[in-house]
């Protein structure tokens, strides 16, 4: 079920009504309703893959309970690796089986040995990369003693399958989300209104920004051999806005929807295109995944401690693994490695935590120096997005080399003037809300002029969605990951 579909527009009010007016007096019934609603939400796409979520839930619930009863280090490690093997085993089979098989065959062919092996027609279950990491965080945190294992199977099932963030995040930690299923939720009008505002802003990002950018970006990327350098550069910029609007839009809708049910999810995007270096960008982009890899991969490897070689090694591991998490294609691995190359200078000069505040904090406009750093970071990010979007490495390389040919100075072919104006409006709104959680968060000021501006902005956003939305229900990009 898509957030931007009529199905969801009917589904959400029905579930909310039952949640707040039918089951509100019984916490266990509320959690059970969430489980049922989540399974309906996911099963709307393909009910057969509900068995994967159920099996993963039962495995990690059982491992958590057994860990609480086990003191032997050897047996505790065996339980932990059972959870890791089951979860990553499913993920590896559905997402990477054909990738490894094809590369295995190609490697032997390179040395003159022919191997006959047929790829499988495997359907990638939507959201498997997200809920796999979410359940793994529970098992690892229980093993490390950071979290008490739950014996409430319904609450744990609700945590694993919570439909607002089930298929594309944020990837919630058990330490944050699971305890919220233990306590009674009470309807809060202010939280609900803020949730609705965030949902509206997420829909704007998706159906106005992402879907309209996608029309032009797809046309340019799919016909890149016929375009000049300036048009390809525009296509790359439009894809940067497409993927940001699409993915952060999903997160906004997920977080806003969760607020309607009385839950607080972690912020997943913090206006990343206003970053002044690549380290700041990765603190602001897909925060839930970046921090997951930091805590469960990077730090256990030694993090930034140790020799320069260890820092370089760990940086490349974390970014390449992140790239591979996104998909079974060498383009994602190159994308990850390229971001590692970007990251190394700020890491090795100990400037990776230089920009922890918001750009131009407390000011109306940034300084010239901040503008330059922000533009450099954005350009580097756009270049990396070319590899992320390209069909293969050859396509990415041809796209990249054409941009930096003499035709870069040629006029853009058929520039989308109306869309560029909408993007300017989008950047303007995000800039003046960069110290908030989302673009429509209500101002804290009691001045009537600010309250009026808030209402006008909501009104404009709503009508832009009505006017500029695509006639087709377009899937979110990260459903394929």
Range of the domain at 474: 190-276+355-480
Give the span between the Cα atoms of 167 and 169, in whole angstroms. 6
How far are the Cα atoms of 136, 165, 205, 268, 324 from residue 436, in angstroms, in the given order? 30, 21, 16, 13, 32
If asked whether residues 172 and 212 sit together in one domain, one would say no
If asked whether residues 374 and 411 sit together in one domain, one would say yes
| Cβ contact 319:242 at 8 Å | no
Please report where in the chains the tokens 């860990």 appear, as a residue: 67
Q: Torsion angle of alpha carbons 364, 367, 373, 378, nearest 10°?
A: 30
Domain final residue pick, 186, 221, 241: 186
* Model pLDDT, residue 216: 92
- Burial readout 63-90 (b: 16 or more C-beta within 10 A, e: otherwise): bbbbbeeeeeeeebeebbebbeebbeeb
The domain tally of the chain equals 2
If asked whether residues 163 and 22 sit together in one domain, one would say yes
If asked whether residues 452 and 424 sit together in one domain, one would say yes
Give the span between the Cα atoms of 257 and 236, in whole angstroms. 31
| Residues annotated as catalytic (active site), given as ranges | 326
Euclidean distance between the first and the last CA atom of the chain, given in angstroms as a whole number: 16
326 is a domain residue: no
92 is a domain residue: yes
* Model pLDDT, residue 334: 93
Based on the number of CB atoms within 10 Å of its own CB, is 478 exposed (0-12), middle (13-18) or buried (19 or more)? buried
If asked whether residues 79 and 151 sit together in one domain, one would say yes
Please report where in the chains the tokens 């805590």 appear, as a residue: 295
- Residues near 186 by beta carbon (within 8 Å), at least 6 away in sequence: 262
If asked whether residues 175 and 202 sit together in one domain, one would say no
* Model pLDDT, residue 29: 95
Smallest CA-to-CA distance from 396 within 208, 235, 204 is with 235
Give the span between the Cα atoms of 56 and 18, in whole angstroms. 27
| Cβ contact 249:204 at 8 Å | yes
| Cβ contact 65:79 at 8 Å | no
If asked whether residues 218 and 255 sit together in one domain, one would say yes
Run of H or E including 74: helix 73-110
If asked whether residues 176 and 222 sit together in one domain, one would say no
Strand spans (E) along 78-198: none
Sign of the Cα torsion 387, 389, 394, 395 reads negative
If asked whether residues 367 and 249 sit together in one domain, one would say yes
If asked whether residues 82 and 223 sit together in one domain, one would say no
Domain final residue pick, 186, 216, 243: 186
257 is a domain residue: yes
Q: What is the mean pLDDT of each run of 10 residues along the chain (481 residues)?
A: 83 94 91 95 85 92 90 89 90 70 53 57 75 92 92 94 88 93 91 94 94 92 88 94 94 95 94 95 94 90 82 91 85 94 92 86 89 96 94 92 84 87 94 90 74 87 86 68 62
- Give 159's Cβ-side CA count (13 Å radius): 32
Give the span between the Cα atoms of 5 and 162, in whole angstroms. 19
If asked whether residues 266 and 389 sit together in one domain, one would say yes
If asked whether residues 198 and 165 sit together in one domain, one would say no
| Cβ contact 91:328 at 8 Å | no
């Amino acid at each position: 079920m898509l957030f931007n579909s009529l199905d969801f527009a009917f589904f959400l009010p029905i579930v909310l009504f039952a949640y707040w007016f039918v089951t509100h007096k019984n916490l266990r019934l509320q959690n059970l309703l969430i489980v049922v609603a989540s399974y309906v939400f996911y099963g709307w796409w393909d009910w057969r893959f509900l068995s994967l979520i159920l099996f993963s839930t039962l495995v990690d619930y059982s491992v958590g309970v057994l860990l609480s009863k086990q003191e032997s280090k050897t047996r505790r490690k065996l339980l932990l690796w059972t959870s890791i093997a089951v979860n990553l085993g499913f993920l590896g089979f559905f997402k990477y089986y054909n990738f490894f098989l094809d590369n295995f065959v190609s490697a032997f062919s390179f040395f003159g040995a022919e191997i006959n092996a047929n790829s499988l027609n495997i359907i990638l279950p939507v959201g498997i990369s997200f809920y796999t990491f979410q359940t793994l965080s529970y098992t690892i945190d229980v093993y490390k003693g950071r979290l008490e294992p739950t014996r409430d199977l319904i609450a744990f099932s609700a945590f694993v399958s919570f439909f607002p963030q089930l298929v594309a995040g944020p990837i919630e930690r058990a330490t944050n989300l699971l305890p919220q299923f233990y306590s009674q939720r009470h309807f809060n009008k202010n939280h609900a209104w803020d949730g609705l505002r965030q949902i509206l802003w997420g829909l704007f990002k998706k159906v106005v920004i992402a879907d309209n950018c996608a029309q032009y970006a797809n046309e340019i990327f799919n016909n890149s051999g016929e375009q000049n350098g300036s048009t390809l550069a525009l296509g790359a910029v439009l894809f940067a806005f497409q993927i940001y609007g699409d993915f952060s839009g999903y997160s906004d809708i997920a977080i806003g929807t969760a607020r309607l049910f009385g839950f607080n999810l972690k912020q997943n995007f913090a206006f990343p295109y206003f970053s002044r270096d690549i380290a700041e960008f990765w603190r602001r982009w897909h925060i839930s995944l970046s921090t997951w890899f930091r805590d469960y991969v990077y730090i256990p490897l030694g993090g930034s401690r140790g020799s320069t070689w260890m820092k370089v090694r760990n940086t490349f591991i974390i970014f390449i693994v992140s790239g591979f998490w996104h998909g079974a294609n060498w383009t994602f691995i190159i994308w990850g490695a390229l971001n590692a190359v970007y990251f190394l200078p700020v890491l090795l000069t100990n400037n990776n935590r230089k920009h922890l505040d918001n750009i131009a904090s407390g000011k109306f406009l940034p300084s010239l120096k901040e503008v330059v750093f922000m533009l450099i970071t954005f350009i580097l990010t756009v270049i990396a997005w070319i590899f992320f979007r390209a069909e293969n490495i050859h396509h990415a390389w041809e796209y990249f080399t054409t941009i930096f040919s003499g035709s870069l100075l040629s006029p853009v072919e058929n520039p989308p003037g109306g869309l560029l104006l909408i993007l300017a409006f989008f950047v303007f709104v995000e800039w003046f809300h960069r110290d908030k959680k989302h673009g429509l968060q209500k101002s804290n000021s009691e001045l009537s002029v600010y309250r009026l501006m808030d209402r006008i902005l909501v009104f404009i956003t709503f009508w832009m969605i009505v006017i500029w939305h695509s006639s087709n229900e377009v899937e979110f990009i990260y459903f394929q990951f």
